[in-house]
Amino acid sequence: HDAGGDPLVDGLNPAQARAVTTRGPALLIVAGAGSGKTRVLTHRIAHLIREREAWPSQILAITFTNKAAAEMRERIEGLLGDASQGMWISTFHSACVRILRREAERFGYVSGFTIYDSADSRALLKRIIKELDADTYGFTPANSGAKISKLKNELVDAATHAATMNENDPRERLFVEIFRMYEQELKRANAFDFDDLIGQTVHLFRAHPDVAAVYQRRFRHILVDEYQDTNHAQYSLIRELTRPVEPEEVERLVPPARAKELDASGRIPPASLTVVGDSDQSIYAFRGADIRNIVEFERDFAGAEVVKLEQNYRSTQNILSAANAVIGNNFDRQEKHLWTSEGDGERIVGFTGYSQHDEARFVAEEIEDLHRAGLAYSDIAVFYRTNSQTRALEELFIRSAIPYRVLGGTKFYERAEVKDAMAYLTSIANPYDPIAWSRLLGAPKRGVGAMAEAHLANFQEAQGVSFHEAMLRAEEVTAIGPKIRATVRALGEMLVRASRMAVGGGATDVAGEDAKPAPVADVMKLVLDETDMIEKLRAKRDPQDDARAENLEELLAVAREFDVKQPGAGLLAFLTEVSLVAAADDLDDSSGTVSLMTMHTAKGLEFKAVFITGVEEGLLPHQMSVDEIGGISEERRLMYVGITRARERLYLTLASTRATFGDVSVAMPSRFLQEIPEGLIDWRQSPGEVTGRGGTASRALNAPRSSGGGSWSRTRTDSAVTFSGGGSGSGAVSEPASGNMQSALDKWRERKRLAKEAQASGG
């Protein structure tokens, strides 16, 4: 192909074109924000396929969110026509789930394993801490969970940690005990936590070279976006996948390797690796992201080629100049110079409110102006450092009837009734999961008390069978009254029936084991019909319960949508997808709403107009970061990420007083504001003009609730009315509310206690 008339290279600048067309064992594309890294990666994949250098199935592309993955797939299909079948484009987590589901049996798990989200694992930890009385030594689910997560991201398990810890430290010994029990409980529940997904895959590859060989052989091209935010576990995964298949493993391959797959020494050569990233955008150190992965790439991957991109295609020069100025204050970085041919554009608008309500009022008014000037609401985003900041904004948006969505707020899947229904599905897929089972037993209420539950769980444990099997044999648990036994048995039968349906090959199916799993919607329908959940809610004639019933119907609709999108994929795939939805995945461009999100969530995205709110000391940089080594640098990178999301208009706003938890405190402008050259900011109200007297906007605000009463849908804006009430911590990654799971675990603990009593009394 000559340079002209090639849609994959046309319109790219020379550096970008090289990044698309160059070949070799390893390629590192380092570049600032908005320089086309993601675009180049997409074109490179399309180029590999079009040039017949790879089949789609030989490509593994890693993105930061599922949404980014879907976008990339769409773009590639747009570039090539429909040729992305069999290509793996996914997040690290999704790719690992796929591998683990296939290979789970190799290490004592069952393919239907549950994925615990952070709320689930915190709840599990809470129980363990109670059992060990570790709370009196200052252990909390949050601090022990963070420590476990950190270790897992370093690929350190409890045994390894025990071997290297300071034996003389009793606190450390106790921690190891917590860690160990946590591992055991997860295994027993046939569950993985989020960090496990990656760590266990690495572990699998290292323990089973023959399994690793299958994937090392399959993926000939591995491409990773946002490489600066990979942690050690993810890095190790990449290392494992990019090893050659040695001759002794080549021999064991099925189907056997063909001669042309092999190099001169009889190995299958390693996959070629392309990574793109920007060390100035590394903002996940608190989750173990290691900037060294990108800095040391050339050393780690021999023969690596490096391409630098400097032209920015996203933002105006004013916005870029501000971004360059801010990030220039980080000393531990490689100098980069971003420029654009687009011209200066508008100046950045600054505004200081008397209070956060005044600030929010300004934001709302400006949004209305932008909208009147022709900007779609979906082109506008409002960023903040912590989730607690949304409240003032939401109040004003509701009042001004600005449609908006909060990304990463209280999520659909965290609602009680949705969790109830999902507990059924989880148990149907994994009949060993105690948490799902415990939840479904009481939803809806059917008279199975804590005592009966305890007896059943005891029986289950003693017999070493699944919870479903235990329910089928409820007659044997004579300590429970006959009526409850019958109820439990009937429920067990329903679950078993649903399980058969879900995996395929049900009794009525002539095709036997080859039968496809039933559509998810069918399984869900069975559950909803048999439990009568929706009808029971409707019968209460309470608008709140009506909304809950609607949510269940919405869940059914989600399942139908899934069945259409992924025909034949089945329940497991559905559960996997649900448990992997990340905050940024909520985003729907066509929804016509303003997007509210933390700056962490904003990574990789772009909007015509961006508001960064709360640009104050203590918020941005966040108070927590001030005392930490490297903390301010990380906050500065976050600010850089925020600024560089804006294409045309950027607003930086702050308040001179801010009320948090009932206290009103005086807020100082962020140091980052001072780092931006004065001439770039057009202050509508500068910090100096605001004396810091109390807020003028009323605080108590009876926001009218829009119709729909909290029921959820993808596009409806009223879902955001429920405030997440978060606000503690960094707010960086919004943790799902753990309340529901908590009560399930409290129940569990109570049940264990009752069970002990029951045993003691000879029952």
Q: How far is the CB of 278 from Mg ion (least distance, A)?
A: 8
Distance CA 66, CA 503 (A): 25
In the three-class reduction of DSSP (H, G, I as helix; E, B as strand; rest coil), residue 268 is classed as strand
Closer of 31 and 204 to ligand ATP (Cβ): 31
In the three-class reduction of DSSP (H, G, I as helix; E, B as strand; rest coil), residue 223 is classed as strand
Q: How many residues bind ligand ATP (CB under 6 A)?
A: 19
| Residues of this chain, 249-278, that bind ligand ATP according to CB under 6 A | 278
Closer of 383 and 748 to Mg ion (Cβ): 383
Q: Please enumerate in sequence order all residues whose Cβ is within 8 A of that of 499, keeping only pairs 6 or more positions apart, or say none.
A: 428, 429, 431, 468
Q: How far is the CB of 76 from ligand ATP (least distance, A)?
A: 14
36 binds, among Mg ion, ligand ATP, none (CB under 5 to 8 A by kind): ligand ATP
Q: How far is the CB of 225 from Mg ion (least distance, A)?
A: 6
Q: How far is the CB of 296 from ligand ATP (least distance, A)?
A: 20
Closer of 8 and 191 to ligand ATP (Cβ): 8
Measured from the Cβ of residue 82, the count of other Cβ atoms closer than 10 Å reads 8
Closer of 278 and 563 to ligand ATP (Cβ): 278
Binding mask 24-53 for ligand ATP (x = CB under 6 A): -------x-xxxxxxx--------------
Q: Is-contact 144 178, C-beta < 8 A?
A: yes
* Residue 645 annotated as catalytic: yes
Q: How far is the CB of 37 from ligand ATP (least distance, A)?
A: 3
* Residue 717 annotated as catalytic: no
| DSSP 8-state assignment for residue 347 | P
Closer of 40 and 549 to Mg ion (Cβ): 40
* Residue 230 annotated as catalytic: no
According to the annotation, is 662 in a ligand binding site?
Answer: no
| Residues of this chain, 348-377, that bind ligand ATP according to CB under 6 A | none
Helix (H) or strand (E) segment spanning residue 116: strand 114-116
Closer of 31 and 224 to ligand ATP (Cβ): 31
* Residue 226 annotated as catalytic: yes
* Residue 446 annotated as catalytic: no
494 binds, among ligand ATP, Mg ion, none (CB under 5 to 8 A by kind): none
Closer of 244 and 604 to Mg ion (Cβ): 604
The position carrying tokens 């490689």 is: 334
570 binds, among ligand ATP, Mg ion, none (CB under 5 to 8 A by kind): none
In the three-class reduction of DSSP (H, G, I as helix; E, B as strand; rest coil), residue 179 is classed as helix
Q: How far is the CB of 610 from Mg ion (least distance, A)?
A: 16
Q: Is-contact 124 182, C-beta < 8 A?
A: yes
Tokens of 454: 């305890």
Closer of 604 and 621 to ligand ATP (Cβ): 604
| Cα–Cα distances in angstroms (integers) from residue 237 to residues 42, 146, 206, in the given order | 22, 21, 10
Q: Which amino acid is at 143?
A: N
According to the annotation, is 37 in a ligand binding site?
Answer: yes
Long-range CB contacts (within 8 A, 24+) of 526-534: 526/494, 526/497, 526/498, 526/501, 527/421, 527/424, 527/425, 527/428, 527/494, 527/498, 528/421, 528/552, 528/556, 530/494, 531/424, 531/443, 531/444, 532/444, 533/417, 533/420, 533/421, 533/443, 533/444
Helices (H), 208-259: 209-218, 232-241, 247-250
Q: Please enumerate in sequence order all residues whose Cβ is within 8 A of that of 260, keeping only pairs 6 or more positions apart, or say none.
A: none
Interacting span for ligand ATP (CB under 6 A) from 8-16, 43-51, 288-296, 518-526: 8-16
Helix (H) or strand (E) segment spanning residue 350: strand 348-353
Q: Is-contact 70 99, C-beta < 8 A?
A: no
13 binds, among Mg ion, ligand ATP, none (CB under 5 to 8 A by kind): ligand ATP
426 binds, among Mg ion, ligand ATP, none (CB under 5 to 8 A by kind): none
Tokens of 324: 């360059």
Among 288, 353, 434, 604, binds ligand ATP (CB under 6 A): 604
Closer of 202 and 599 to ligand ATP (Cβ): 599
According to the annotation, is 36 in a ligand binding site?
Answer: yes
Binding mask 446-475 for ligand ATP (x = CB under 6 A): ------------------------------
Q: How far is the CB of 633 from ligand ATP (least distance, A)?
A: 18
Interacting span for ligand ATP (CB under 6 A) from 6-14, 385-393, 409-417, 508-516: 6-14
According to the annotation, is 725 in a ligand binding site?
Answer: no
Q: Please enumerate in sequence order all residues whose Cβ is within 8 A of that of 406, keeping only pairs 6 or more positions apart, or say none.
A: 390, 394, 596, 597, 720, 724
Q: Which residues bind Mg ion (CB under 5 A)?
A: 37-38, 604
Residue in 226, 359, 417, 433 annotated catalytic:
226
12 binds, among Mg ion, ligand ATP, none (CB under 5 to 8 A by kind): ligand ATP
In the three-class reduction of DSSP (H, G, I as helix; E, B as strand; rest coil), residue 294 is classed as helix
Question: Per CB under 6 A, does 228 bind ligand ATP?
Answer: no
Name the residue among 727, 652, 664 with its Cα closest to residue 362: 652
Closer of 316 and 427 to ligand ATP (Cβ): 316
According to the annotation, is 34 in a ligand binding site?
Answer: yes
Q: How far is the CB of 13 from ligand ATP (least distance, A)?
A: 6
What does the angle CA 275 – CA 236 – CA 265 come to, to the nearest 5 degrees?
85
According to the annotation, is 481 in a ligand binding site?
Answer: no
In the three-class reduction of DSSP (H, G, I as helix; E, B as strand; rest coil), residue 471 is classed as helix
Question: Per CB under 6 A, does 21 bind ligand ATP?
Answer: no
Q: Please enumerate in sequence order all residues whose Cβ is within 8 A of that of 719, keeping only pairs 6 or more positions apart, or say none.
A: 405, 410, 412, 710, 711, 712, 713
Question: Per CB under 6 A, does 481 bind ligand ATP?
Answer: no
Question: Per CB under 6 A, does 314 bind ligand ATP?
Answer: yes
480 binds, among Mg ion, ligand ATP, none (CB under 5 to 8 A by kind): none
Q: Is-contact 653 619, C-beta < 8 A?
A: no
313 binds, among ligand ATP, Mg ion, none (CB under 5 to 8 A by kind): ligand ATP
Distance CA 356, CA 392 (A): 7
* Residue 65 annotated as catalytic: no
Residue in 200, 228, 281, 460 annotated catalytic:
281
Instruction: Give the chain's length.
Output: 763
Q: How far is the CB of 445 from ligand ATP (least distance, A)?
A: 49
Residue in 127, 603, 636, 645 annotated catalytic:
645
DSSP per residue over 489-549, as a string?
HHHHHHHHHHHHHHHS--TT-TTGGGPPPPPHHHHHHHHHHHHTHHHHHHHTT-HHHHHHH
Q: How far is the CB of 95 from ligand ATP (least distance, A)?
A: 20
Q: Which amino acid is at 419?
A: K
Among 55, 107, 313, 723, binds ligand ATP (CB under 6 A): 313
In the three-class reduction of DSSP (H, G, I as helix; E, B as strand; rest coil), residue 388 is classed as helix
DSSP per residue over 586-641, as a string?
G--GGG--EEEEETTTTTT--EEEEEE---BTBBTTBHHHHTSTTHHHHHHHHHHH
Name the residue among 619, 597, 652, 591 with its Cα closest to residue 366: 652
Q: How far is the CB of 572 from ligand ATP (least distance, A)?
A: 32
Q: Is-contact 732 407, C-beta < 8 A?
A: no
Closer of 70 and 573 to ligand ATP (Cβ): 70
410 binds, among Mg ion, ligand ATP, none (CB under 5 to 8 A by kind): none
Question: Per CB under 6 A, does 330 bind ligand ATP?
Answer: no
Question: Per CB under 6 A, does 12 bind ligand ATP?
Answer: yes
| Residues of this chain, 610-669, that bind ligand ATP according to CB under 6 A | 644
Q: Which amino acid is at 639?
A: M
List residues forming the annotated binding site.
31-38
List residues forming the annotated binding site for ATP.
31-38
* Residues at the interface with ligand ATP (CB under 6 A): 11-13, 16, 31, 33-39, 278, 281, 313-314, 604, 606, 644
Indicate which residues carry an active-site annotation. Answer: 37-38, 225-226, 281, 645
